[in-house]
Amino acid sequence: MKLGNLFKVAMNALRRNKMRSFLTMLGIIIGVASVITMLAIGQGSKKSIEDQIASMGSNMLFVIPGSMRMGGVQQGSSGSQRLTIADMNAIRTGCDAIIAVSPEVRASGQAVYGSSNWPTTIYGGNEQYLEIKSWAIVSGRNFTADEAKGSAKVCLIGRTVADELFGEGIDPTGESVRFKNIPFRIIGLLKEKGQNSFGQDQDDVLIAPYTTVQKRILAQTYIQSIQMSAKNAEASVLAQQQVEEVLRRTHKLRENENNDFEIRSQEELATTMTSVTDILTILLGAIAGISLLVGGIGIMNIMYVSVTERTREIGLRMSIGGQGKDILLQFLIESIMLSVFGGLIGILLGFAASKVVGALTSWPITVMWSSVILSFAVCTVIGVFFGWYPARRASELDPIDALRYE
Partner 1 sequence: MSAIINISSLKKDYYIGEVTVHALRGIDLQISQGEFVAIMGASGSGKSTMLNIIGCLDRPTSGTYYLDGINVAELSKNERAAIRNRKIGFVFQAYNLLSRTSALENVELPLMYNPGIKAKERKERALAALEAVGLQERMDHMPNQLSGGQQQRVAIARSLVNDPVVILADEATGNLDTRTSYEIMALLQELNEKGKTIVFVTHEPDIARCGTRNIVFRDGHLIRQEEVSNRLIATETLKALPVEED
Binding residues (CB under 8 A) for partner 1: these are 1-2, 5, 9, 12, 16, 312-313, 315-324, 326, 399-400, 403
Beta bridge partners of 64: 262
Q: Which is nearer to partner 1, 318 or 337 (CB)?
A: 318
State the minimum distance, in angstroms, from the CB of residue 365 to partner 1: 44
State the minimum distance, in angstroms, from the CB of residue 325 to partner 1: 8
Strands (E), 135-278: 137-140, 154-157, 176-179, 182-190, 205-209, 225-230, 261-265
Q: Which is nearer to partner 1, 146 or 398 (CB)?
A: 398
Give the C-alpha separation, 370 to 368, whole Å.
Answer: 5
Q: Which is nearer to partner 1, 193 or 317 (CB)?
A: 317
Beta bridge partners of 207: 123, 156
11: CB partners within 8 A, 6+ apart = 337
Give the C-alpha separation, 384 to 15, whole Å.
Answer: 20
Do residues 102 and 210 touch, judged by C-beta distance below 8 A?
A: yes
Q: Which is nearer to partner 1, 268 or 326 (CB)?
A: 326
State the minimum distance, in angstroms, from the CB of residue 321 to partner 1: 2
Write b or e for each residue in 204-216: b if 16 or more Cβ atoms lie within 10 A of its Cβ, otherwise e: bbbbbbbbbbbeb
Rg (CA), the chain: 33
State the minimum distance, in angstroms, from the CB of residue 30 to partner 1: 29
State the minimum distance, in angstroms, from the CB of residue 6 to partner 1: 9
Give the C-alpha separation, 355 to 367, whole Å.
Answer: 9
Q: Which is nearer to partner 1, 149 or 404 (CB)?
A: 404
Give the C-alpha separation, 63 to 263, whole Å.
Answer: 5
Q: Which is nearer to partner 1, 288 or 402 (CB)?
A: 402
State the minimum distance, in angstroms, from the CB of residue 342 to partner 1: 23
φ/ψ region of 90 (left if φ > 0, alpha if ψ in -120 to 50, else beta) reads alpha
State the minimum distance, in angstroms, from the CB of residue 326 to partner 1: 6
Give the C-alpha separation, 284 to 191, whole Å.
Answer: 36
Q: Which is nearer to partner 1, 245 or 398 (CB)?
A: 398
State the minimum distance, in angstroms, from the CB of residue 308 to partner 1: 15
State the minimum distance, in angstroms, from the CB of residue 23 to partner 1: 19
Q: Which of 28, 5, 23, 26 shows the shortest CA–CA distance to 380?
A: 28
Q: Which is nearer to partner 1, 97 or 329 (CB)?
A: 329
Longest dimension (CA), the chain: 103
DSSP H/E element including 394 = helix 369-395
Q: Which is nearer to partner 1, 154 or 337 (CB)?
A: 337
Give the C-alpha separation, 314 to 329, whole Å.
Answer: 12
